[in-house]
Amino acid sequence: MTVRTARSLHVEALDALVRGRMAEVAVARDWELLREVARLARQDAPVELASTDPALYSTWRAAVTKYHLKGWTHMTPERVDAVRDRAGGRKQAPRVA
């Protein structure tokens, strides 16, 4: 498993959000990346980008809109954590007495 820096996680999550790859990330069970995608969608594009990088701002805003229109609204960072915890609990080997 490769360790991601905070910056690389942010860039990878923004790319997944812009390209609409949330389902792909969820199927891969990349919880760290899925949580970051959810966080970026919830926080929305920083308003400062409108003047410093208008193209990125409009792309990010459009991606967040599509995120909600495709039904991902309820995928919050907290919800990702809950699903990860439940999925992790199922993978435990049964105890033998």
Orientation angle between helical segments 31-43 and 54-69, nearest 10 degrees: 110
- Cβ within 8 Å of residue 96, ≥6 positions away: none
What are the structure tokens assigned to 30, written together?
């990349």
Instruction: Supply the pLDDT for residue 95.
Output: 47
> Using one digit for the tens of pLDDT, what is the confidence trace for 24-83?
999 999 999 999 999 999 999 999 999 999 999 999 999 999 999 999 999 999 999 999
User: Roughly what angle, to the nearest 10 degrees, separates helices 6-19 and 31-43?
Assistant: 70
State the burial class of residue 92 (Cβ atoms within 10 Å of its Cβ: 0-12, 13-18, 19+). exposed
What pLDDT score was predicted for residue 3?
84
